[in-house]
Structure 1
Amino acid sequence: MTWTTRPRSKFGDLAAIDVGEGPLVVLLHGVGLRAEAWGGQIEPLVSAGYRVVCPDMLGHGESAFAAPSGLNSYAAPIAALLNEPAVLIGHSMGALIATHTAASGNRNVKGVAALNAIFKRSDAAQQSVLSRARALDAQRLNDASVTLHRWFAEDTSAERDACAQWLQEVDPRAYKAAYSVFAESDGPTEEQLAEITCSALFVTGADEPNSTPNMSRQMASLAPKGRAEIIPDAAHMMPMTHAAEVNAVLLPFVQECLT
Protein backbone atom coordinates (compact mmCIF):
# COMPACT_ATOMS: atom_id res chain seq x y z
CA MET A 1 0.00 0.00 0.00
CA THR A 2 1.10 3.56 -0.69
CA TRP A 3 0.53 6.27 1.92
CA THR A 4 -0.05 9.32 -0.27
CA THR A 5 -1.20 12.67 1.13
CA ARG A 6 -4.94 13.31 0.80
CA PRO A 7 -6.92 16.57 0.62
CA ARG A 8 -8.19 18.11 3.87
CA SER A 9 -11.32 19.83 5.13
CA LYS A 10 -11.43 22.15 8.16
CA PHE A 11 -13.22 21.34 11.41
CA GLY A 12 -12.58 24.28 13.69
CA ASP A 13 -8.84 24.24 14.42
CA LEU A 14 -8.36 20.77 12.97
CA ALA A 15 -7.62 19.72 9.41
CA ALA A 16 -9.13 16.36 8.47
CA ILE A 17 -9.62 13.91 5.66
CA ASP A 18 -13.40 13.78 5.05
CA VAL A 19 -14.58 11.20 2.53
CA GLY A 20 -17.61 9.04 1.81
CA GLU A 21 -21.29 9.28 2.63
CA GLY A 22 -23.34 7.60 5.31
CA PRO A 23 -23.11 7.16 9.08
CA LEU A 24 -20.04 8.79 10.61
CA VAL A 25 -16.84 7.03 11.62
CA VAL A 26 -14.06 9.16 13.16
CA LEU A 27 -10.49 7.83 13.11
CA LEU A 28 -7.91 9.27 15.53
CA HIS A 29 -4.20 8.69 14.93
CA GLY A 30 -1.29 8.45 17.38
CA VAL A 31 1.56 10.76 18.35
CA GLY A 32 3.91 11.75 15.54
CA LEU A 33 1.63 10.48 12.78
CA ARG A 34 -1.08 12.06 10.67
CA ALA A 35 -4.47 11.20 9.18
CA GLU A 36 -2.91 9.16 6.35
CA ALA A 37 -1.91 6.54 8.93
CA TRP A 38 -5.50 5.29 8.51
CA GLY A 39 -4.94 4.65 4.80
CA GLY A 40 -5.59 0.94 5.31
CA GLN A 41 -9.01 1.59 6.84
CA ILE A 42 -10.41 4.58 4.92
CA GLU A 43 -11.40 2.92 1.66
CA PRO A 44 -12.84 -0.26 3.23
CA LEU A 45 -15.05 1.88 5.48
CA VAL A 46 -16.12 4.17 2.63
CA SER A 47 -16.87 1.14 0.45
CA ALA A 48 -19.01 -0.27 3.26
CA GLY A 49 -21.17 2.87 3.19
CA TYR A 50 -19.70 5.17 5.83
CA ARG A 51 -18.54 8.75 5.95
CA VAL A 52 -14.99 8.73 7.32
CA VAL A 53 -13.41 11.72 9.06
CA CYS A 54 -9.73 11.46 10.02
CA PRO A 55 -8.50 14.57 11.87
CA ASP A 56 -4.86 15.54 12.16
CA MET A 57 -3.98 15.92 15.85
CA LEU A 58 -3.02 19.44 16.95
CA GLY A 59 0.35 20.32 15.42
CA HIS A 60 0.38 17.17 13.28
CA GLY A 61 -0.27 16.87 9.56
CA GLU A 62 -2.05 20.04 8.47
CA SER A 63 -3.51 21.02 11.87
CA ALA A 64 -1.87 24.07 13.43
CA PHE A 65 -0.09 23.75 16.76
CA ALA A 66 -1.57 25.28 19.88
CA ALA A 67 0.03 24.67 23.26
CA PRO A 68 -2.17 22.09 25.01
CA SER A 69 -3.21 21.98 28.66
CA GLY A 70 -3.69 18.26 29.15
CA LEU A 71 -5.69 15.53 27.46
CA ASN A 72 -8.85 17.63 27.18
CA SER A 73 -7.05 19.95 24.75
CA TYR A 74 -6.97 17.02 22.32
CA ALA A 75 -10.39 15.60 23.19
CA ALA A 76 -12.41 18.83 23.05
CA PRO A 77 -11.94 19.44 19.28
CA ILE A 78 -13.04 15.85 18.63
CA ALA A 79 -16.16 16.24 20.77
CA ALA A 80 -16.95 19.43 18.85
CA LEU A 81 -17.18 17.63 15.52
CA LEU A 82 -19.54 14.94 16.85
CA ASN A 83 -22.77 16.58 15.73
CA GLU A 84 -24.34 13.28 14.64
CA PRO A 85 -24.20 9.62 15.77
CA ALA A 86 -20.70 8.23 15.24
CA VAL A 87 -18.24 5.50 16.04
CA LEU A 88 -14.85 6.64 17.38
CA ILE A 89 -11.80 4.57 16.51
CA GLY A 90 -8.47 5.58 18.00
CA HIS A 91 -4.95 4.21 17.82
CA SER A 92 -2.45 4.66 20.69
CA MET A 93 -2.80 8.31 21.77
CA GLY A 94 -5.90 8.38 19.58
CA ALA A 95 -7.32 5.51 21.64
CA LEU A 96 -6.76 7.57 24.80
CA ILE A 97 -8.70 10.45 23.24
CA ALA A 98 -11.45 8.14 21.99
CA THR A 99 -12.05 6.43 25.34
CA HIS A 100 -11.92 9.79 27.16
CA THR A 101 -14.60 11.13 24.80
CA ALA A 102 -16.76 8.02 25.09
CA ALA A 103 -16.58 8.16 28.90
CA SER A 104 -17.70 11.80 28.91
CA GLY A 105 -21.32 10.86 28.22
CA ASN A 106 -21.48 12.29 24.68
CA ARG A 107 -24.71 10.80 23.35
CA ASN A 108 -23.51 10.82 19.76
CA VAL A 109 -20.79 8.25 20.52
CA LYS A 110 -22.50 5.00 19.56
CA GLY A 111 -19.38 2.89 19.75
CA VAL A 112 -15.69 3.22 20.57
CA ALA A 113 -12.77 1.09 19.40
CA ALA A 114 -9.42 1.51 21.18
CA LEU A 115 -6.48 0.10 19.21
CA ASN A 116 -3.13 -0.45 20.98
CA ALA A 117 -4.40 1.35 24.07
CA ILE A 118 -2.49 1.53 27.35
CA PHE A 119 -3.92 0.74 30.78
CA LYS A 120 -2.08 0.73 34.09
CA ARG A 121 1.49 0.50 32.85
CA SER A 122 4.01 -1.29 35.02
CA ASP A 123 6.31 0.98 37.06
CA ALA A 124 9.20 0.18 34.72
CA ALA A 125 7.14 0.94 31.61
CA GLN A 126 5.86 4.18 33.15
CA GLN A 127 9.37 5.37 33.97
CA SER A 128 10.58 4.45 30.49
CA VAL A 129 7.89 6.39 28.66
CA LEU A 130 8.29 9.40 30.98
CA SER A 131 12.04 9.39 30.36
CA ARG A 132 11.45 9.40 26.61
CA ALA A 133 9.05 12.33 26.96
CA ARG A 134 11.52 14.37 29.04
CA ALA A 135 14.31 13.74 26.53
CA LEU A 136 12.34 15.17 23.60
CA ASP A 137 13.42 18.56 22.22
CA ALA A 138 10.58 20.99 21.48
CA GLN A 139 12.79 23.21 19.32
CA ARG A 140 14.34 20.85 16.80
CA LEU A 141 13.70 17.59 14.97
CA ASN A 142 14.04 14.53 17.19
CA ASP A 143 15.82 11.32 16.20
CA ALA A 144 13.12 8.96 14.93
CA SER A 145 15.31 5.86 14.77
CA VAL A 146 14.49 4.63 18.27
CA THR A 147 10.76 5.10 17.71
CA LEU A 148 10.90 3.30 14.37
CA HIS A 149 12.83 0.42 15.93
CA ARG A 150 10.23 0.17 18.70
CA TRP A 151 7.43 0.07 16.13
CA PHE A 152 9.00 -2.03 13.36
CA ALA A 153 12.18 -3.63 14.80
CA GLU A 154 14.56 -4.00 11.84
CA ASP A 155 11.85 -4.72 9.26
CA THR A 156 11.86 -2.53 6.16
CA SER A 157 8.54 -1.66 4.55
CA ALA A 158 6.51 1.09 2.94
CA GLU A 159 4.78 1.51 6.31
CA ARG A 160 8.07 2.13 8.08
CA ASP A 161 9.13 4.61 5.39
CA ALA A 162 5.83 6.49 5.70
CA CYS A 163 6.13 6.72 9.48
CA ALA A 164 9.72 7.89 9.17
CA GLN A 165 8.61 10.73 6.89
CA TRP A 166 5.73 11.76 9.17
CA LEU A 167 7.97 11.77 12.23
CA GLN A 168 10.40 14.04 10.39
CA GLU A 169 7.63 16.42 9.34
CA VAL A 170 5.77 16.82 12.65
CA ASP A 171 6.26 20.07 14.57
CA PRO A 172 8.73 19.23 17.39
CA ARG A 173 6.67 21.31 19.82
CA ALA A 174 3.57 19.32 18.97
CA TYR A 175 5.37 16.00 19.20
CA LYS A 176 6.78 16.73 22.65
CA ALA A 177 3.48 18.15 23.91
CA ALA A 178 1.39 15.21 22.71
CA TYR A 179 3.91 12.60 23.80
CA SER A 180 4.12 14.19 27.23
CA VAL A 181 0.34 14.00 27.68
CA PHE A 182 0.43 10.38 26.51
CA ALA A 183 3.34 9.53 28.82
CA GLU A 184 1.77 11.17 31.85
CA SER A 185 -1.48 9.27 31.37
CA ASP A 186 -1.95 5.72 32.58
CA GLY A 187 -4.82 5.16 30.19
CA PRO A 188 -8.52 5.35 31.04
CA THR A 189 -9.27 4.85 34.71
CA GLU A 190 -11.49 2.07 36.00
CA GLU A 191 -14.13 4.69 36.71
CA GLN A 192 -13.95 6.07 33.17
CA LEU A 193 -14.24 2.61 31.65
CA ALA A 194 -17.34 1.98 33.76
CA GLU A 195 -18.84 5.19 32.30
CA ILE A 196 -18.50 3.94 28.68
CA THR A 197 -22.07 2.77 28.16
CA CYS A 198 -21.83 2.26 24.39
CA SER A 199 -20.25 -0.81 22.79
CA ALA A 200 -16.50 -0.76 23.37
CA LEU A 201 -13.90 -2.76 21.46
CA PHE A 202 -10.29 -3.06 22.64
CA VAL A 203 -7.85 -4.40 20.03
CA THR A 204 -4.11 -4.91 20.18
CA GLY A 205 -1.41 -7.08 18.68
CA ALA A 206 -0.28 -10.35 20.19
CA ASP A 207 3.34 -9.16 19.87
CA GLU A 208 2.69 -5.69 21.33
CA PRO A 209 5.06 -5.15 24.30
CA ASN A 210 3.65 -1.82 25.51
CA SER A 211 -0.10 -1.81 24.82
CA THR A 212 -0.30 -5.44 25.80
CA PRO A 213 -3.06 -8.01 25.19
CA ASN A 214 -3.64 -8.18 28.93
CA MET A 215 -4.28 -4.43 29.02
CA SER A 216 -6.96 -4.74 26.33
CA ARG A 217 -8.59 -7.66 28.11
CA GLN A 218 -8.62 -5.77 31.41
CA MET A 219 -10.21 -2.70 29.84
CA ALA A 220 -12.81 -4.84 28.09
CA SER A 221 -13.74 -6.48 31.38
CA LEU A 222 -14.33 -3.08 32.99
CA ALA A 223 -16.44 -1.49 30.24
CA PRO A 224 -20.11 -2.54 30.54
CA LYS A 225 -20.31 -3.54 26.87
CA GLY A 226 -16.62 -4.23 26.36
CA ARG A 227 -14.89 -6.92 24.37
CA ALA A 228 -11.29 -7.58 23.37
CA GLU A 229 -9.71 -8.85 20.17
CA ILE A 230 -6.03 -9.77 19.78
CA ILE A 231 -4.46 -9.70 16.29
CA PRO A 232 -1.92 -12.55 15.86
CA ASP A 233 1.67 -11.67 14.89
CA ALA A 234 0.92 -7.93 15.11
CA ALA A 235 2.49 -5.17 17.20
CA HIS A 236 2.02 -1.42 17.70
CA MET A 237 1.50 -0.30 14.10
CA MET A 238 -1.04 -3.00 13.27
CA PRO A 239 -3.55 -0.63 11.57
CA MET A 240 -0.87 -0.16 8.91
CA THR A 241 1.00 -3.48 8.98
CA HIS A 242 -2.04 -5.76 9.49
CA ALA A 243 -4.78 -3.69 7.88
CA ALA A 244 -6.82 -6.64 6.57
CA GLU A 245 -6.87 -8.36 9.96
CA VAL A 246 -7.74 -5.13 11.77
CA ASN A 247 -10.49 -4.34 9.27
CA ALA A 248 -11.98 -7.81 9.72
CA VAL A 249 -12.57 -6.86 13.36
CA LEU A 250 -13.51 -3.19 12.91
CA LEU A 251 -16.03 -3.40 10.07
CA PRO A 252 -18.51 -5.73 11.83
CA PHE A 253 -18.18 -3.65 14.99
CA VAL A 254 -18.96 -0.40 13.16
CA GLN A 255 -21.93 -2.00 11.42
CA GLU A 256 -23.26 -3.27 14.74
CA CYS A 257 -22.98 0.16 16.35
CA LEU A 258 -24.41 2.23 13.49
CA THR A 259 -27.24 0.00 12.25
Structure 2
Amino acid sequence: MTSTTLQLSEPFGQVSYREAGQAHVGVRATVVLIHGVGMQSAAWAPQVTTLSKSHHVVALDMPGHGGSDPIPAGSELPVFVDWLRAVLDALGLQQVSLVGHSMGALIAGGFAIDHPDRVARVALLNGVFCRDAIARASVIVRAEQIRAGSFDLETPLQRWFGDTPLEKQARKDVAQWLSQVDIDGYATAYGAFARGDALYADRFDKIRCPMLALTGEDDPNSTPEMSHAMASAAPNGHAVVIQDHRHMVNLTAPDEVNSALMDWLHMPAEQDVLT
Protein backbone atom coordinates (compact mmCIF):
# COMPACT_ATOMS: atom_id res chain seq x y z
CA MET A 1 0.00 0.00 0.00
CA THR A 2 1.83 3.04 -1.27
CA SER A 3 1.47 6.62 -0.14
CA THR A 4 -0.20 9.26 -2.34
CA THR A 5 -0.10 13.05 -1.99
CA LEU A 6 -2.88 15.51 -2.76
CA GLN A 7 -2.90 19.30 -2.80
CA LEU A 8 -5.33 20.88 -0.34
CA SER A 9 -6.91 24.31 -0.23
CA GLU A 10 -4.98 27.12 1.44
CA PRO A 11 -3.32 27.14 3.93
CA PHE A 12 -2.92 23.38 4.36
CA GLY A 13 -0.43 22.42 1.64
CA GLN A 14 -0.30 18.74 0.73
CA VAL A 15 -1.75 15.71 2.48
CA SER A 16 -0.24 12.26 2.21
CA TYR A 17 -2.50 9.21 2.51
CA ARG A 18 -2.75 5.48 1.91
CA GLU A 19 -5.76 3.99 0.16
CA ALA A 20 -7.09 0.45 -0.16
CA GLY A 21 -10.27 -1.39 -1.06
CA GLN A 22 -13.28 -0.08 -2.90
CA ALA A 23 -16.91 0.60 -2.22
CA HIS A 24 -19.00 -2.57 -2.37
CA VAL A 25 -22.66 -2.87 -3.26
CA GLY A 26 -24.71 -1.94 -0.21
CA VAL A 27 -21.68 -0.56 1.66
CA ARG A 28 -21.84 3.11 2.46
CA ALA A 29 -19.34 5.80 3.50
CA THR A 30 -15.59 5.46 3.00
CA VAL A 31 -13.69 4.67 6.20
CA VAL A 32 -11.17 7.41 7.03
CA LEU A 33 -8.44 6.72 9.62
CA ILE A 34 -6.47 9.38 11.54
CA HIS A 35 -3.45 8.33 13.64
CA GLY A 36 -2.06 9.85 16.84
CA VAL A 37 0.83 12.20 17.60
CA GLY A 38 4.18 10.93 16.33
CA MET A 39 2.68 8.15 14.22
CA GLN A 40 1.84 7.95 10.52
CA SER A 41 -0.76 6.29 8.32
CA ALA A 42 1.27 3.05 8.25
CA ALA A 43 0.27 2.53 11.90
CA TRP A 44 -3.19 1.52 10.68
CA ALA A 45 -1.92 -1.48 8.67
CA PRO A 46 -3.85 -4.16 10.64
CA GLN A 47 -7.08 -2.20 10.28
CA VAL A 48 -6.57 -1.34 6.61
CA THR A 49 -5.94 -5.01 5.80
CA THR A 50 -9.21 -6.11 7.40
CA LEU A 51 -11.52 -3.19 6.66
CA SER A 52 -10.51 -2.88 3.00
CA LYS A 53 -11.94 -6.33 2.31
CA SER A 54 -15.40 -4.81 2.50
CA HIS A 55 -14.88 -1.02 2.48
CA HIS A 56 -13.01 1.73 0.73
CA VAL A 57 -10.40 2.83 3.30
CA VAL A 58 -8.25 5.98 3.40
CA ALA A 59 -5.55 6.34 6.10
CA LEU A 60 -4.26 9.90 6.44
CA ASP A 61 -0.91 11.30 7.53
CA MET A 62 -1.69 14.02 10.07
CA PRO A 63 -0.19 17.50 9.43
CA GLY A 64 3.57 17.49 9.96
CA HIS A 65 3.63 13.68 10.03
CA GLY A 66 4.58 11.18 7.36
CA GLY A 67 4.39 12.94 4.00
CA SER A 68 1.87 15.63 4.97
CA ASP A 69 2.85 19.29 5.13
CA PRO A 70 2.83 20.96 8.56
CA ILE A 71 0.33 23.54 9.66
CA PRO A 72 1.41 26.75 11.47
CA ALA A 73 3.23 26.22 14.76
CA GLY A 74 0.94 26.59 17.76
CA SER A 75 -2.20 25.59 15.88
CA GLU A 76 -4.90 24.32 18.21
CA LEU A 77 -7.38 21.48 17.74
CA PRO A 78 -9.95 23.42 15.65
CA VAL A 79 -7.29 24.02 12.99
CA PHE A 80 -6.77 20.26 12.73
CA VAL A 81 -10.55 19.87 12.39
CA ASP A 82 -10.53 22.44 9.56
CA TRP A 83 -7.63 20.53 7.99
CA LEU A 84 -9.73 17.34 7.97
CA ARG A 85 -12.58 19.15 6.24
CA ALA A 86 -10.13 20.34 3.57
CA VAL A 87 -8.87 16.77 3.12
CA LEU A 88 -12.35 15.31 2.68
CA ASP A 89 -13.26 18.08 0.24
CA ALA A 90 -10.12 17.41 -1.81
CA LEU A 91 -10.86 13.68 -1.84
CA GLY A 92 -14.46 14.29 -2.87
CA LEU A 93 -15.84 12.49 0.17
CA GLN A 94 -19.15 13.98 1.24
CA GLN A 95 -19.76 11.62 4.15
CA VAL A 96 -17.42 9.17 5.89
CA SER A 97 -17.10 6.67 8.69
CA LEU A 98 -14.40 8.33 10.76
CA VAL A 99 -11.85 6.55 13.00
CA GLY A 100 -9.29 8.38 15.11
CA HIS A 101 -6.62 7.16 17.52
CA SER A 102 -5.44 9.36 20.42
CA MET A 103 -4.91 12.84 18.89
CA GLY A 104 -6.75 11.50 15.86
CA ALA A 105 -9.69 10.74 18.15
CA LEU A 106 -9.76 14.37 19.27
CA ILE A 107 -9.84 15.47 15.62
CA ALA A 108 -12.53 12.91 14.75
CA GLY A 109 -14.71 13.86 17.71
CA GLY A 110 -14.40 17.57 16.98
CA PHE A 111 -15.21 17.01 13.32
CA ALA A 112 -18.30 14.92 14.15
CA ILE A 113 -19.55 17.79 16.33
CA ASP A 114 -18.75 20.63 13.91
CA HIS A 115 -19.78 18.78 10.73
CA PRO A 116 -22.41 16.17 11.64
CA ASP A 117 -23.67 15.93 8.07
CA ARG A 118 -20.23 14.70 6.96
CA VAL A 119 -19.99 11.80 9.46
CA ALA A 120 -22.02 8.59 9.16
CA ARG A 121 -20.40 7.15 12.27
CA VAL A 122 -17.34 7.90 14.41
CA ALA A 123 -14.93 5.70 16.38
CA LEU A 124 -12.64 7.20 19.03
CA LEU A 125 -9.77 4.84 19.89
CA ASN A 126 -7.70 5.59 23.02
CA GLY A 127 -9.21 9.04 23.17
CA VAL A 128 -8.73 11.53 25.99
CA PHE A 129 -11.69 13.29 27.58
CA CYS A 130 -11.65 15.89 30.35
CA ARG A 131 -8.35 15.06 32.06
CA ASP A 132 -8.15 15.82 35.76
CA ALA A 133 -6.05 18.78 36.90
CA ILE A 134 -2.95 16.70 37.66
CA ALA A 135 -3.01 14.86 34.34
CA ARG A 136 -3.66 18.09 32.42
CA ALA A 137 -0.75 19.87 34.09
CA SER A 138 1.57 16.95 33.37
CA VAL A 139 0.73 16.72 29.68
CA ILE A 140 1.02 20.50 29.22
CA VAL A 141 4.50 20.41 30.76
CA ARG A 142 5.37 17.63 28.34
CA ALA A 143 4.06 19.73 25.44
CA GLU A 144 6.23 22.67 26.49
CA GLN A 145 9.30 20.43 26.72
CA ILE A 146 8.68 19.13 23.21
CA ARG A 147 8.17 22.67 21.89
CA ALA A 148 11.54 23.57 23.43
CA GLY A 149 13.20 20.70 21.51
CA SER A 150 13.26 17.96 24.14
CA PHE A 151 12.24 14.68 22.54
CA ASP A 152 12.15 11.65 24.85
CA LEU A 153 11.57 8.48 22.85
CA GLU A 154 11.72 5.91 25.65
CA THR A 155 9.13 7.29 28.07
CA PRO A 156 6.09 6.88 25.80
CA LEU A 157 7.31 3.48 24.62
CA GLN A 158 7.58 2.23 28.19
CA ARG A 159 4.11 3.58 28.95
CA TRP A 160 2.49 2.13 25.83
CA PHE A 161 3.89 -1.41 25.66
CA GLY A 162 4.32 -4.57 27.68
CA ASP A 163 6.57 -7.56 26.99
CA THR A 164 4.51 -9.95 24.88
CA PRO A 165 5.99 -10.86 21.46
CA LEU A 166 3.29 -8.89 19.63
CA GLU A 167 3.86 -5.84 21.83
CA LYS A 168 7.63 -6.04 21.29
CA GLN A 169 7.14 -6.00 17.52
CA ALA A 170 4.65 -3.15 17.75
CA ARG A 171 7.07 -1.24 19.97
CA LYS A 172 9.79 -1.63 17.36
CA ASP A 173 7.52 -0.26 14.63
CA VAL A 174 6.33 2.64 16.76
CA ALA A 175 9.89 3.53 17.77
CA GLN A 176 10.80 3.75 14.10
CA TRP A 177 7.87 6.06 13.31
CA LEU A 178 8.62 8.26 16.31
CA SER A 179 12.26 8.55 15.29
CA GLN A 180 11.22 9.71 11.81
CA VAL A 181 8.74 12.39 12.86
CA ASP A 182 9.40 16.07 12.17
CA ILE A 183 9.97 17.64 15.59
CA ASP A 184 8.10 20.84 14.72
CA GLY A 185 5.09 18.93 13.42
CA TYR A 186 5.23 16.71 16.50
CA ALA A 187 5.35 19.73 18.82
CA THR A 188 2.38 21.44 17.16
CA ALA A 189 0.25 18.28 17.27
CA TYR A 190 1.23 17.47 20.85
CA GLY A 191 0.40 21.00 21.99
CA ALA A 192 -3.08 20.73 20.46
CA PHE A 193 -3.45 17.27 22.01
CA ALA A 194 -2.44 18.56 25.44
CA ARG A 195 -4.92 21.44 25.39
CA GLY A 196 -7.77 19.86 23.43
CA ASP A 197 -9.18 17.17 25.74
CA ALA A 198 -12.09 19.29 27.00
CA LEU A 199 -12.56 21.64 24.04
CA TYR A 200 -15.49 19.74 22.52
CA ALA A 201 -16.47 17.71 25.59
CA ASP A 202 -19.57 19.70 26.48
CA ARG A 203 -21.00 19.14 22.98
CA PHE A 204 -20.78 15.36 22.74
CA ASP A 205 -24.56 15.30 22.94
CA LYS A 206 -24.45 16.70 19.37
CA ILE A 207 -22.89 13.46 18.07
CA ARG A 208 -26.08 11.75 16.94
CA CYS A 209 -24.46 9.10 14.73
CA PRO A 210 -23.22 5.73 16.06
CA MET A 211 -20.13 6.44 18.18
CA LEU A 212 -17.63 3.87 19.43
CA ALA A 213 -15.29 4.81 22.29
CA LEU A 214 -12.61 2.13 22.64
CA THR A 215 -9.48 1.91 24.77
CA GLY A 216 -7.17 -0.52 26.53
CA GLU A 217 -7.87 -1.59 30.09
CA ASP A 218 -4.33 -0.63 31.15
CA ASP A 219 -4.02 2.68 29.27
CA PRO A 220 -3.12 5.16 32.04
CA ASN A 221 -3.84 8.28 29.99
CA SER A 222 -6.76 7.36 27.72
CA THR A 223 -8.51 5.53 30.51
CA PRO A 224 -11.54 3.23 30.42
CA GLU A 225 -13.35 5.83 32.52
CA MET A 226 -12.82 8.38 29.75
CA SER A 227 -14.20 6.02 27.10
CA HIS A 228 -17.27 5.28 29.21
CA ALA A 229 -17.78 9.01 29.82
CA MET A 230 -17.60 9.76 26.09
CA ALA A 231 -20.03 6.95 25.29
CA SER A 232 -22.44 8.14 27.96
CA ALA A 233 -22.30 11.72 26.68
CA ALA A 234 -23.24 10.78 23.09
CA PRO A 235 -26.84 9.72 22.41
CA ASN A 236 -25.75 6.71 20.35
CA GLY A 237 -22.44 6.01 22.11
CA HIS A 238 -20.98 2.61 22.95
CA ALA A 239 -17.82 1.85 24.94
CA VAL A 240 -15.46 -1.10 24.45
CA VAL A 241 -12.49 -1.81 26.74
CA ILE A 242 -9.85 -4.29 25.54
CA GLN A 243 -8.52 -6.25 28.50
CA ASP A 244 -4.78 -6.38 29.28
CA HIS A 245 -3.78 -3.80 26.64
CA ARG A 246 -2.55 -0.21 26.68
CA HIS A 247 -2.41 2.82 24.40
CA MET A 248 -1.44 1.31 21.04
CA VAL A 249 -4.28 -1.17 21.18
CA ASN A 250 -4.89 -1.16 17.42
CA LEU A 251 -1.40 -2.70 17.01
CA THR A 252 -1.22 -4.88 20.11
CA ALA A 253 -4.78 -6.27 19.94
CA PRO A 254 -5.62 -5.97 16.23
CA ASP A 255 -8.14 -8.81 16.10
CA GLU A 256 -10.20 -7.43 18.99
CA VAL A 257 -10.06 -3.89 17.63
CA ASN A 258 -10.96 -4.98 14.10
CA SER A 259 -13.90 -7.00 15.43
CA ALA A 260 -15.18 -3.96 17.36
CA LEU A 261 -14.77 -1.75 14.28
CA MET A 262 -16.64 -4.19 12.07
CA ASP A 263 -19.51 -4.30 14.57
CA TRP A 264 -19.51 -0.49 14.59
CA LEU A 265 -19.50 -0.33 10.78
CA HIS A 266 -22.62 -2.49 10.71
CA MET A 267 -24.53 -0.15 13.02
CA PRO A 268 -27.19 1.66 10.97
CA ALA A 269 -26.49 5.34 10.36
CA GLU A 270 -29.46 7.59 9.66
CA GLN A 271 -27.93 9.69 6.90
CA ASP A 272 -25.49 7.41 5.07
CA VAL A 273 -24.81 8.47 1.50
CA LEU A 274 -22.80 6.67 -1.13
CA THR A 275 -19.34 8.16 -1.61
TM-score, scaled relative to structure 2: 0.86
> How many residues matched?
253
2:81 pairs with 1:75: yes
Q: Deviations over 1:54-96 (max 9, x none)?
A: 1101110011222152112211121233333210000000000
For 1:154 and 1:227, the matched residues in 2 are separated by 30
Change (3 A) 1:7 1:195: same
Q: Which runs of 5+ in 2 are unaligned?
A: 9-13, 24-28
Is the contact between residue 205 and residue 234 of structure 1 (CA under 8 Å) also seen in structure 2? Answer: yes
Pairs within 5 Å for 1:132-147: 132-137=142-147, 142-147=151-156
Q: Does 1:91 align with 2:87?
A: no
Give the corresponding residue for 1:148: 157
Checking the alignment, whether the CA contact within 8 Å between 2:3 and 2:16 is kept in structure 1 is no
Q: TM-score when scaled to structure 1? A: 0.91
- Structure 1 residues 252, 77: closer, same or farther in 2, change over 3 A? same
What is aligned with 1:51? 56
The SS at the match of 1:134 is: helix
1:24/1:138 CA distance change after superposition, 3 Å: farther
Matches within 5 A, 1:106-145: 106-137=116-147, 142-145=151-154
Distance 1:17 1:199 in 2: 25
- Give, as a single letter, the amino acid of the residue that structure 1 aligns with 2:39: L
Q: 2-side partners of 1:221 and 1:256: how far apart?
A: 17
Aligned counterparts of 1:16 and 1:234: Cα–Cα separation in 2: 27
User: 1:246 matched to which residue of 2?
Assistant: 257
Runs of at least 5 residues in structure 1 that lack an aligned partner in the other structure: none
1:27 aligned onto 2:36:
no
Aligned position for 2:15: 14
Name the SS for the 1:61 alignment partner.
coil
Number of the residue aligned with 2:11: none
* Conservation of the 8 A alpha-carbon contact between 1:88 and 1:113: yes
Q: 246-255 or 77-86: which moved more?
A: 77-86
CA distance in 2, matches of 1:190, 1:66: 24
- Whole-Å Cα distance in 2 between the matches of residues 197 and 92 of structure 1? 21
- Deviation of 1:154 after TM superposition, in Å, equals 5.8
Question: How much does 1:227 deviate?
Answer: 1.0
In 1, the alpha carbon distance for the partners of 2:268 and 2:246 equals: 26
- Aligned with 1:10: secondary structure? strand
Which whole-Å CA distance do the structure 2 matches of 1:257 and 1:202 have between them? 17
Give matches, 1:217-236, under 5 Å. Answer: 217-236=228-247
Match of 2:26 in 1: none
Give 2:195's aligned residue. Answer: 184
Alpha-carbon distance between aligned partners in 2 of 1:173 and 1:222, rounded to the nearest angstrom: 34
What is the one-letter code of the residue matched to 2:110?
H
Aligned Cα root-mean-square deviation (Å)? 1.9
| 1:60 and 2:65 are equivalent in the alignment | yes
